[in-house]
Amino acid sequence: MATDSLLPERFGPLAGLRVVCSGKLIAAPFAAQLAAQWGAEVIQVEPPGEGDIGYRHIGVRLPATDGKAPVSASFLQERRNELFVTLDFTKPRARELFLRLLGRTDLWIESSKPGTYDRWGLDDKTVMETNPRLVITHITAYGKSGDPDYAHRIAYDSTGQAFSGMMSQTGFPDPSPPSRAAPWTGDYLCAYFGLAASLAAVFRARASGEGQAIDLAHFEPLHHTLGGTMIEYFQEGVIRERSGNRAQSFQPLDTFRAKDGWVMLGALTKPDFSRLCLTIGLDPEDPRWIKAQHNLDSIEGIEFDAYIRGWVAERTAEEVNRLLNQASVACSRVMDARDIAENPQYRARAIHVEWEDEQVGRVKGIGVLPRFSRTPGKIWRGSARPGHDNQKVYSELLGLSRGEIEELTHEKII
């Protein structure tokens, strides 16, 4: 357990946990940032210079207050509460620094090709000799073991979705192409899965005094969300196909176009279906509609679908939403950012908050979720430039002098 915290105060359920993350882009750093908003001390390690060039400058960017390069809105949202240091792992002296850092760390999360850290003398055996209680979470494209043909392949969110089987079920039927689940759903699923496994291992390490390494392939969490897909195949030879937004075994569960937008509605159980029928003017005891609920491609099923589409099309999205929710039928408008920002439930739950970012100043975005009743998380600062905390981490935590830090900076080791 980290007892020499560099944070300004203790807060959250993960207070006292130190996490070092040397991953790039989304999956590994997002896992670490979740821990940071729940009170962990997170040290994000980036290459000297531009840092994580893949994520600091992707998508819509906001101008920086210091006149330097603008910063990705996604980076501002997902790199809060972290300490930013730089380290060039390709240089021999970096190994010594990193081992010292990991010697005072509970959890190390990294994402790289298998063997990358081994080449730098930072293999699991060496690292855990330095700190036997350390938990190491490796996130790789296809795993550290398995078919050697996959060992050095790289993957991104969408290729992970394709390989996992997720993409084969996402989108509309042929001839429409398979679709990725946006935005970066595969990376975020991997982050949640990876953090859950990491915290489970930390829990065990604190009880036993023994750390361990976690080998997580990017595609595995995605594959793990496919429900009964593989049992259906192995037992019955069934291959699930794309069905758009429609459920495959009952109706309605689909998107429907209203006068001024789209709604998503569903009625899974018999009581749900009965309430829906009564609301839209159909007799729920009529044998035609009873058959229609689970026989989507029957004449009755097609008629029911056409009827409800006509009913929705005659009304505004808000009217449909109001009438169905009043009848206890699941329904929501398909909301965009403007809708969400103006929605009373988002406002009432204070989902969106403002904070001060080190790079761009005052910003507003998604706050700390979920809420803990006794140990709430918080935002104690926003994102920062690469190496912003070099002096703090390397001097206060590792005991380096100002001269040593200046030398390491001059030699571009940090």
Whether the predicted pLDDT of 2 surpasses 70? no
User: Is residue 231 a contact partner of residue 239, using CB atoms and an 8 Å limit?
Assistant: no
> Edge-to-edge strands of the sheet including 253-257?
253-257, 262-266, 330-333
Whether the predicted pLDDT of 358 surpasses 70? yes
**Region at 202 (left for phi over 0; alpha for psi -120 to 50; beta for the rest):** alpha
Distance CA 274, CA 282 (A): 9
Beta-bridge partners for 41: 18
List pLDDT tens digits, range 239-295: 999 999 998 889 999 999 999 999 999 999 999 999 999 999 999 999 999 999 999
Whether the predicted pLDDT of 1 surpasses 50? no
Tokens describing residue 65 = 């207050």
Residue-averaged pLDDT of the chain:
95
Place of tokens 């946006």: 182
Least confident range of 64-68, 141-145, 314-318, 394-398: 64-68
- Give the number of other CB atoms < 10 A from CB of residue 60: 8
The DSSP secondary structure of 140-160, one letter per residue, reads ESS-SSS-GGGTT----HHHH
Place of tokens 């989108």: 171
Give the domains, in start order, of the chain with CATH numbers.
18-224+350-410 (3.40.50.10540), 253-257+262-333 (no CATH)
HSE-CB of 354 using CA atoms within 13 angstroms:
5
Q: How far is CA 125 from the centre of its chain?
A: 29
User: Is residue 364 a contact partner of residue 353, using CB atoms and an 8 Å limit?
Assistant: yes
What confidence tier does 53 reach under pLDDT thresholds 50, 70, 90? confident
Q: Angle CA(5)–CA(11)–CA(12) in degrees, nearest 5?
A: 120
Cβ neighbours for 189, distance < 8 A, ≥ 6 positions apart: 221, 222, 225
Q: Give the pLDDT score at 3.
A: 56
